[in-house]
Structure 1
Amino acid sequence: MRIIRFSNEQSVPVLAAITLESKVYSLPQTDFLELVKQAAEQQQTPLSLIQEIIADSQPIEKNVEELSLLTPIDAPEVWAAGVTYERSRDARNYEATGGKLDATTFYDKVYHAERPEIFFKATAARTVGPQDDVYLRSDSHWQIPEPELGLVINKDGKILGYTIGNDMSCRDIEGENPLYLPQAKIWKNSCSIGPAILLAEAVEDAYQFDIVCRIFRDGEKVVEGTANTRQLKRKFDELISYLMKDNEIFDGTVLLTGTCIVPPNEFSLSDGDYVEIEITGIGTLKNPVKLPSSKSIAFS
């Protein structure tokens, strides 16, 4: 069972469930966390509560492709783990050494260390949803999407569901100096999540998700890469435990688990590109790429 949010004809956010038959049912709750809370209060799982609700209702007339989708949750914070896949380690080494192949750096140490790399990625205000623009950073010339499985967790670290994340990254800024990581990772519209949350209880093995990333330019596919979460070096519980060490997290926090798909080294995103990230059972997160004017990215 997947959970989405969409904007109805009155521009009001609606929570909905998508069944295995791809039928969409509106839910009475206002957001995903209210659904989880109500299920707990009634000593039910979210899945059983949804099944109870939709048993006596009819699906909406539109299919999910016709809806104006929003982020499936307004995550108060989005965090991310780095160098969790071998491919990511190799790409970071390439950046840090000015393009040397098979180079080794401190990223190898992080890859093998007991402590994982975890960094802050975004707030709700910096996070966009399906079909929203992701922004290019104006002071970078080597930018890529990073397709990642996202864990939706509560304040106790329990995994409530799985979503898709695009951790937009500046390879040149991070490669110049690792101390520049926040600038290489955080700016307005530098993170997208969606299109849905796949309930954790509906997943038999979270280490068997197939991930596909496609990048289009002028209508032509210019990059395509695939991966599977079984290639992860670290387990989800391990990443969550380090996120929570002496740290307060909030219900609805999203933890991105790292990328295993990196475009060719000579590739950089351009204004007008289009990114698709597909993960088995969750859906496809689609975002246009835009280089905004300095005025349009200023915070109000």
Structure 2
Amino acid sequence: MNLASHLPTDWRDARLLGRIMTPAGPSPVLVRGGRLYDISGQVATTAEAVSRTELDRIEGVDLGALDELSFVTAWDEAGQADIVLLSPLDLQCIKASGVTFAVSALERVIEERARGDADAANAVRQSILDRIGGDLRDLRPGSEQAEGVKAQLIADGMWSQYLEVAIGPYAEIFTKAPVLASVGWGAEVGVRADSAWNNPEPEVVVICDPVGRPVGASLGNDVNLRDIEGRSALLLGKAKDNNASAAIGPFIRLFDDGFGMDDVRAATVRLEVEGQDGFVMTGESSMRLISRDPEELVRQTLSAHQYPDGFALYLGTMFAPIEDRDAPGKGFTHKIGDRVRVSSEKLGVLENIVTTCDQAPAWRFGVVELMRNLAGRGLLGVSV
């Protein structure tokens, strides 16, 4: 499959970092001037590459014009392409933040309190607006004003486990997947076979170097099992961290004069799900509505400990699909074969196909195997 339609609109001017599988093993690649370069001879991992100030001067092996190359996908017939695009992450820790859009979290509390009555919901919402003296999106988590609203909501019997992380001082930060376990563009994404209610979560993912400095961004699908998480917050790990449940790609767009954190803050993230049953669902969310600034979420991630190999941080989503798929009142859940597209103008399109976690390719290439592979290729002395 040709990647041209899945790249940022200005991809020829962008600095894109990724990974491909070669006959020798996984290799970092850099897109520069519209061409794809294998840079494994100079830098062996993307975790190291993001901290190399001379990255643009690395020549690498020219693999050709990116828009003329064909890439393998899980839904095309075998043999139609010979380049496998992997997740752009290797040794980075994969973290995620949840409930980062206070507007949507508070709306959940409002809906719960109103028990489906729109008029009652309006009354509850207006009561909250009167307390904060403005729009819900103006409520800054951890502020004195937010603490006051939270205290009043609790006093009114509207406490929710999501309320604390939505408007309290501490963000919800959790580990989404082990190192090397994420999947990339064109791969299968997995939902547990015992989950009856699940959904994609389209997000921007910020990539940070070993000292915690944001150096780029990508697109992510934080596959979520709503039925399992809904039973108990203590089941978050089972709902979030499963085989093939963390998709990232197609590339890391490195920050430069043409793309930076302000572009992340202004991004619109779109979602499209197309099922084999003819079902189509679309939606979008604006990063402008995020209640915690991306750099604040990075700081909170760093408050626990250090990440000597860097980390990737999913920034959260305000998109929760409620459109009925099979029957009225049943809402949305995935079916095997769903094509999921997460897109944003300056980051491209992350496309995957849904299967169950037990049917997705098993994750077997871990850190030991990577070290063994790099040593066999003579790359450990270059850079890891």
Residue of structure 2 equivalent to 1:290: 355
Question: What amino acid does structure 2 have at the position aligned with 1:116?
Answer: A
- Aligned mates of 1:275, 1:65 — CA distance in 2: 22
Cα offset for 1:91?
Answer: 7.5
1:237 matches 2:295: yes
Does the CA-based 8 Å contact 1:87-1:261 persist in structure 2?
Answer: no
Residue of structure 2 equivalent to 1:17: 30
Residue of structure 1 equivalent to 2:266: 208
In the TM superposition, 1:1-300 aligns within 5 A as 1-8=15-22, 10=23, 12-19=25-32, 22-27=34-39, 28=41, 29-39=43-53, 44=54, 49-50=55-56, 52-53=57-58, 60-63=64-67, 66-67=70-71, 68-86=84-102, 88-89=104-105, 93=109, 100=116, 104=158, 105-201=160-256, 202-204=258-260, 205=262, 206-218=264-276, 220=278, 222-264=280-322, 266-293=331-358
Number of residue pairs matched by the alignment: 288
- Aligned mates of 1:7, 1:296 — CA distance in 2: 15
Unaligned runs of 5+ in 2: 1-14, 72-83, 125-157, 324-330, 366-384
Q: Secondary structure at the match of 2:342?
A: strand
- Aligned mates of 1:253, 1:193 — CA distance in 2: 13
Per-residue CA deviation, residues 88-136 of structure 1 (Å, 9 max, x unaligned), is: 5258659988x85759523233211111111111113431111111111
Does the CA-based 8 Å contact 2:102-2:167 persist in structure 1?
Answer: no
Q: Secondary structure at the match of 2:64?
A: coil
Specify whether residues 75 and 88 from structure 1 end up closer, same or farther in structure 2 by C-alpha distance, changes over 3 A only: farther
- Aligned mates of 1:214, 1:295 — CA distance in 2: 21
Does the CA-based 8 Å contact 1:153-1:251 persist in structure 2?
Answer: no
Residue of structure 1 equivalent to 2:76: none
- Aligned mates of 1:96, 1:120 — CA distance in 2: 28
Cα offset for 1:11?
Answer: 5.4
Does the CA-based 8 Å contact 2:95-2:313 persist in structure 1?
Answer: yes
Cα offset for 1:64?
Answer: 6.9
Specify whether residues 294 and 228 from structure 1 end up closer, same or farther in structure 2 by C-alpha distance, changes over 3 A only: closer
Per-residue CA deviation, residues 223-279 of structure 1 (Å, 9 max, x unaligned), is: 111122111111122112211223232323111110122222500011111111112
- Aligned mates of 1:14, 1:6 — CA distance in 2: 6
Cα offset for 1:221?
Answer: 5.7
Q: Secondary structure at the match of 1:128?
A: coil
Question: What amino acid does structure 2 have at the position aligned with 1:247?
Answer: H
Q: Normalization by structure 2: what TM-score? A: 0.66
Specify whether residues 294 and 269 from structure 1 end up closer, same or farther in structure 2 by C-alpha distance, changes over 3 A only: closer
Greater alpha carbon shift after TM alignment, 242-251 vs 222-231:
242-251
Cα offset for 1:57?
Answer: 8.3
Q: Over the residues paired in the alignment, what is the CA RMSD in angstroms? A: 3.2
Does the CA-based 8 Å contact 1:149-1:165 persist in structure 2?
Answer: yes
| Bigger CA radius of gyration | 2
Specify whether residues 16 and 78 from structure 1 end up closer, same or farther in structure 2 by C-alpha distance, changes over 3 A only: same
- Aligned mates of 1:268, 1:295 — CA distance in 2: 18
Does the CA-based 8 Å contact 2:265-2:287 persist in structure 1?
Answer: yes
Does the CA-based 8 Å contact 2:182-2:244 persist in structure 1?
Answer: yes
Unaligned runs of 5+ in 1: none
Does the CA-based 8 Å contact 1:136-1:271 persist in structure 2?
Answer: no
Does the CA-based 8 Å contact 1:89-1:107 persist in structure 2?
Answer: yes
Q: Secondary structure at the match of 1:275?
A: strand
Question: What amino acid does structure 2 have at the position aligned with 1:291?
Answer: T
- Aligned mates of 1:295, 1:238 — CA distance in 2: 35
Question: What amino acid does structure 2 have at the position aligned with 1:63?
Answer: D
Cα offset for 1:186?
Answer: 1.4
Q: Normalization by structure 1: what TM-score? A: 0.83
Does the CA-based 8 Å contact 2:250-2:348 persist in structure 1?
Answer: yes
Per-residue CA deviation, residues 144-194 of structure 1 (Å, 9 max, x unaligned), is: 011111111123211121111111111111222222222111111111111
Cα offset for 1:53?
Answer: 3.9
Question: What amino acid does structure 1 have at the position aligned with 2:332?
Answer: F
- Aligned mates of 1:255, 1:164 — CA distance in 2: 11
